[in-house]
Amino acid sequence: MKGLKRIFKNLDINEFVKYFCFSILLIVTLISISTMKFTQSKYENDTEINIAPTLAFFVVDVQSQTGQIKLSEMVPRTQPYYYSFNVSNFIGTRRANVDLTYSIELVTTTNLPLEFKIYRGGTYVTDEIDSDTVTTDENGVYYRHLLINDVNVMNYNSNHTDVYTLEVEFPVQYQNSPDDYSGIIDLVDIKINAEQVV
Same domain, 22 and 94: no
CA distance 27 to 24: 5
Cα 20 to its chain centre, rounded Å, is 48
Mean pLDDT of 91-112: 91
Neighbours of 61 (CB within 10 A): 13
Same domain, 43 and 59: no
Residue 31's domain spans which residues? Answer: 2-49
DSSP-based three-state secondary structure for 12: coil
Same domain, 39 and 70: no
Domain termination residue (choose one: 16, 32, 49): 49
Q: What is the pLDDT of residues 130-177, one digit of tens each?
A: 888 999 999 998 999 999 877 678 999 999 999 988 899 999 888 887
Same domain, 58 and 45: no
Report the share of the chain in percent with pLDDT over 70.
Answer: 78
> DSSP string spanning 110-176?
-SS--EEEEEETT--SS----EEEEEE-TTS-EEEEEEEEEEEEE-TTS--EEEEEEEEE--GGGGG
Same domain, 70 and 31: no
Give the domain CATH number at 61: 2.60.120
Same domain, 41 and 93: no
Cβ contact 96:60 at 8 Å = yes
Same domain, 106 and 182: yes
Reported as half-sphere exposure (CB side, CA atoms, 13 A), residue 90 has a value of 11
Q: What is the pLDDT of residues 22-71, one digit of tens each?
A: 778 777 776 766 665 444 433 333 334 456 557 889 989 898 999 998 88
Which secondary structure element, helix H or strand E, spans residue 103, and what is its range? strand 100-109
Domains of the chain: total? 2
At 43, the amino acid letter reads: Y
Same domain, 109 and 144: yes
Q: Specify the pTM.
A: 0.67
CA distance 120 to 143: 24
Same domain, 28 and 59: no
Same domain, 39 and 76: no
Same domain, 79 and 10: no
Same domain, 42 and 58: no
